[in-house]
Amino acid sequence: MAERNVKHLDTPKAPTLVITKYMGSKKAILPFVVEELTRLTEPGDIIVDLMAGTHTIGYAMKNRCRMVANDIQRYSMVIGQTLLNYEPKPRFEGDVKSALRRLYLSNARHLEGSFENALKLERAMLSNESSRKPNWSTYSEFCESYPFISRETNATGWPEEFQILFSQHRLEAYRTLNKLEPYNLFSLYFANAYVGVRQALEIDSLRYAIDKICDEWVVERPELGYDSFLLRCLLMCALISCVNKVNPGPGHWAAFPRVSQRNKDWIISQRRLEIYDIFIQKVGEIELALAKNPSPHGPHIVSSEDFVAFMREVHEYIRQAKVVYLDPPYSQGHYSRFYHVLETLTKYDYPEVSFAGRYRKDRHQSPFAQKENVPKAIGHICEVARDAKTLLVISYSQGGIIPTADAFRAILEGFYPAEKIELKRLASVHSKLGQTERMKTEEYLFTCRP
């Protein structure tokens, strides 16, 4: 097997557009991967990205290649459609922007009525005026006692009529009657946990306005030239970006930090952020970036399926493709748990939830995060790529479930002769989301030739 240590990267800077922080994002080592993909492809070739996450690879390569991208998480599809296919023409401004504001306000007014008391209490607690500001422990108590869907203990101190908003009975109506108004999922599930009460109202109201704009307003005005599907993806990306920005946690949603003396200033400053304003700014920023990085090879295919079904479905593309690229999870943390808030924001389906983190019960369990199942999953991908006579490029990190390059190569050698496997290594550091220390590690890039 050919092996090379890459010490220094000469590749020019590849374009990036980060919608949310993401575990395992290739942004930090983008030139390492892009250099290899560029070496292996000619302009116009197809790259199949099996587990595209935040689509850093597709965004960097869409100038050169046609992407056929996939990920099991639905938010990833929204990000991919935007980064790969959205053309910011016409811009999101003028009448459409005013209509969004009006729709936002109409949902917000509804929620302001229902959540009036909680909003008033929160406003005082987050106030900048020291005379109004209560002790942090009062704010902590406010958050801890707050009702939510699936709360098993009594929400002490909250009137009965307020708690009814969170009742199972009402929830069933939201589940059954699709798009029942007002939109209030975040207000019922995540307020005073991952976001503030006001912020939950803003997210719900933006989510409502996005649906109304794309399902109705834009559809009724075809002369304006918006593509309602892609516009929804752009606006959802901006909302995902906002939810990422106000997250008091370390770049994922596996748990929310409880208010304490140590973190109170940080949590309060995060809860003061006004989502509507950030949202409008994000839409503009994303449009601007996309205008600077168009693709001559679109439309790109972006899908949201388990990789096995996806590979079956796009088998003809795999045969035509130059490269199948695989960047799988490499640790035991399931993306469906770490990013459940983004998945629920996207699906907006009032799911059943469990555990302190309020995770969706239907979350996906990836074989790549289960030691006993990784070899079989890798084997399946090797067989499909090899039999289609397409190059297979795999990113992996030292210290993952398959801990070393030798152990990973041993799996690959079950499907390819040793001389057909190349390995490049790059010394790197991992920022472990949620921990301050950075860990020295090595990134691997295996290229397997059929």
Ligand X SMILES: C[S@@+](CC[C@H](N)C(=O)[O-])C[C@H]1O[C@@H](n2cnc3c(N)ncnc32)[C@H](O)[C@@H]1O
> How far apart are CB 372 and ligand X at their closest, in Å?
15
Site for ligand X contains 340 (CB under 6 A) = no
Examine residue 295 and tell whether it contacts ligand X (CB under 6 A).
Answer: no
Residue number, 386 or 430, with CB nearest to ligand X: 430
Min dist. Cβ of residue 162 to ligand X (A): 37
Q: Is 154 exposed, middle or buried (0-12, 13-18, 19+ CB in 10 A)?
A: exposed
Kindly report the number of other CB atoms within 10 A of residue 88's CB atom: 19
CB-wise, 78 or 100, nearer to ligand X? 78
CB 27 within 8 A of CB 251: no
Question: Please, what is the angle between helix 197-212 and helix 228-246, to 10°?
Answer: 170
Return d(Cα 61, Cα 14) in angstroms, integer: 8
53 touches ligand X (CB under 6 A): yes
Using rule CB under 6 A, residue 303 touches ligand X: no
Tell me: does residue 248 bind ligand X (CB under 6 A): no
22 touching ligand X, by CB under 6 A: yes
* Of the candidate residues 17, 19, 26, 183, the single one contacting ligand X (CB under 6 A): 26
> Should residue 192 be labelled a site residue for ligand X when binding is judged by CB under 6 A?
no
- Selected range binding ligand X among 18-26, 84-92, 228-236, 293-301, rule: CB under 6 A: 18-26
CA atoms within 13 A on the CB side of 382: 22
CB of 405 to ligand X, least distance (A): 17
* Binds ligand X by CB under 6 A, chosen from 20, 107, 270, 366: 366
What residues contact residue 398 under an 8 Å CB cut-off, 6+ apart? 404, 405, 441, 442, 443, 444
Q: Which residue has the tokens 């960047």?
A: 327
Which of 80, 182, 196, 328 forms a contact with ligand X (CB under 6 A)?
328
**Minimum CB distance to ligand X smaller for 79 or for 239:** 79
The sheet that has 438-448: what strands, in order across it?
2-6, 421-431, 438-448, 391-397, 323-326, 46-49, 66-70, 301-303
How many residues belong to the site for ligand X (CB under 6 A)?
22
Q: How far is 51 from 69, CA to CA, in rounded Å?
A: 7
Residue closer to ligand X by CB (options 54, 82) is 54
Angle at 289 between CA 272 and CA 247, to 5 degrees: 25
> At 339, phi and psi to the nearest 5?
-120, 25
Of the two residues 261 and 365, which places its CB atom closer to ligand X in the complex?
A: 365
Q: Is 199 in the site for ligand X (CB under 6 A)?
A: no
Task: Determine, following the binding rule CB under 6 A, whether residue 344 of this chain makes contact with ligand X.
Answer: no
Evaluate whether 334 touches 363 at the Cβ level (below 8 Å).
yes
Binding segment for ligand X (CB under 6 A), chosen from 23-31, 80-88, 122-130, 416-424, is: 23-31
The amino acid occupying position 56 is: T
Q: 176 CB contacts (<8 Å, ≥6 apart)?
A: none
First-residue to last-residue Cα distance in the chain: 14
Minimum distance of ligand X from residue 294's CB (angstroms): 21
Residue 307 interacts with ligand X (CB under 6 A): yes or no: yes
Binding flag, residue 384, ligand X (CB under 6 A): no
Preceding omega of 182 cis (within 30 degrees of 0): yes
Told to check if 147 binds ligand X by CB under 6 A, we report: no
Binding mask 55-74 for ligand X (x = CB under 6 A): -xx-------------xxx-
Q: How far is the CB of 416 from ligand X (least distance, A)?
A: 22
Name which position in 87, 306, 313, 349 contacts ligand X (CB under 6 A): 306
Residue 24 or 88 with smaller CB distance to ligand X: 24
If one asks whether residue 408 binds ligand X (CB under 6 A), the answer comes out as: no
Strands 353-354 and 323-326: unpaired
Task: Examine residue 78 and tell whether it contacts ligand X (CB under 6 A).
Answer: no
- The answer to whether the bond into 90 is cis (omega within 30° of 0) is yes
Contacting residues toward ligand X, per CB under 6 A: 22, 24-26, 51-54, 56-57, 71-73, 76, 306-307, 327-329, 335, 366, 368
